[in-house]
Structure 1
């Protein structure tokens, strides 16, 4: 703690916020950032002055507008989300189901976008939030094409989230091999009871999988594969868009 630079202390305060902790009081910020209360107070005030944090009327703090503006400049937003959004909207309209766009962030799937359809089931994902790779279809699609050493590390830390979560490394490794063969990932009630999911990868300029697009559907639906053609078409269109944008930039 004492050895952390001023920059790292400020970043640890910002890192205290996540999708489950959008508003924190000063004591909670100090605890979650592992800083003394007085130190946290000083840095929080500086972040408020810079508009990285905002102080609410009830005394709690939330992420400020400066970070929102900076986030819009990120490659994740400009190059991926903006390119994918029209196709995600079309996919949601065609299927009526929840649509996800995710990228791999370590051993988690980071959700870049989520769109709800007229037939959407309850989901726990949130844009900007993360869920385990091994329990979601987008996560399995991303893990299937991850480097071998990272796959082995992921297989060593499988957590059971529902009675149906696959936590046997041998079984999951076989699933990943099947995903690479068929280019489709499936789950059924592994993350949330009552929900199944299907996902396919999105490829970048070099042909590697850089993201995954998925649908969440009711697990009791008999025609669970009905949205797969539209899902494949959306992923293919996003991949082509990313490649054409990169080619245009190189030119």
Structure 2
């Protein structure tokens, strides 16, 4: 198989991975701009080796061999190791403590930290669960994961950690929609009074947002005129890590920071 044919096969597998409900041949050809006969031959070859399966006479899906390979790749990725140089560089650029946050089941927590050495700094404990509705990382990962959002909305009670914690479900659902729209989350004194937390998404090879870049600092050091600069740097860091995790250009573009850097960020 020549390199061009291999590239087309990989594009088909990536496309099917992003359309887990399956796709017909015509749609695959249209979306990927592939000739019908060439795509059909490639799909047949992929079916023969178990990389693609045919659910019925017209619907192609990712096959078991591709799933096994994908799981092996994901298991082999050391998220902390991949993110370390980028978060360290961000820490130096902003002169603020930076964190890697991730989701593990229904828990959102800090997995790694880089200290800027500020005299007055915010040091968040690693490994402890963070509130899904009352922290920037909790809200961001909840916004991008529908199961977490429903868990929050169906919870019997939403704890109030400070007078500024959001406990109104309707308002919170609106905020989660805004987070998805703008691709960042802000927590202003919602879990610790006087502290602003910021989070931007990291997307993995499957297109899932299950990790985030996080910065926390006293409110005085994250004034409205500085927030856009900090968030832009965080967004670039998230994109760099996402690329290293194998995320597609489309997935990274979908979580790119969507606001004008010349304007103040949302409070």
Q: With structure 1 as the length reference, what TM-score do the two structures score?
A: 0.62
* RMSD (CA atoms): 2.3
Aligned match of 1:205? 205
- Helix, strand or coil: the match of 1:159? coil
Distance 1:125 1:107, change over 3 A: farther
CA distance in 2, matches of 1:187, 1:121: 19
1:16 is matched with none
Q: Runs of at least 4 residues of structure 1 off by over 4 A?
A: 75-78
Structure 1 residue runs of 5 or longer lacking an equivalent are: 1-74, 245-251
Instruction: Show the counterpart of 1:228.
Output: 231
Alignment size in residue pairs: 170
- The structure that has the greater radius of gyration is 2
The 1-side partners of 2:91 and 2:152 are apart by 30
- Summarize the Cα distance change of 1:124–1:105 in structure 2 as closer, same or farther, 3 Å threshold: farther
The counterpart of 1:151, out of the listed 149, 152, 157, is 149
Residues of 2 paired with 1:120 and 1:114: CA distance?
16
Question: 1:98-247 counterparts in 2 under 5 A?
Answer: 98-119=97-118, 121-123=120-122, 125-147=124-146, 149-155=147-153, 156=155, 157-220=157-220, 221-222=222-223, 223-243=226-246
Superposed displacement of residue 126, structure 1: 1.8
**CA deviation after TM superposition for structure 1 residue 82, in Å:** 0.3
Q: Distance in 1 between matches of 2:94 and 2:75?
A: 25
Change in CA separation of 1:120 and 1:207 when aligned onto 2, cut-off 3 Å = farther
Instruction: String of CA shifts for 1:28-67, please: whole Å, max 9, x gaps.
Output: xxxxxxxxxxxxxxxxxxxxxxxxxxxxxxxxxxxxxxxx
Give 3-state SS (helix, strand or coil) of 1:215's partner: strand
> Counterpart of 2:245 in 1: which secondary structure?
helix
Deviation at 1:224, TM superposition (A): 2.8
Task: For residue 120 of structure 1, report the CA deviation from its aligned partner.
Answer: 7.1
Q: Gaps spanning 5+ residues in structure 2: where?
A: 1-73, 248-267
Q: Establish whether residue 91 from structure 1 lines up as the match of residue 93 from structure 2.
A: no
Query: Within 1, Cα distance between the matches of 2:143 and 2:172?
Result: 10
- The separation in 2 between residues aligned to 1:237 and 1:127, in whole angstroms, is 23
Q: What CA distance in whole angstroms lies between the structure 1 residues aligned with 2:116 and 2:172?
A: 30
Distance 1:171 1:106, change over 3 A: farther
Task: Out of 151-160 and 113-122, give the one that drifted further.
Answer: 113-122
Q: What SS class does the counterpart of residue 133 from structure 1 fall into?
A: coil
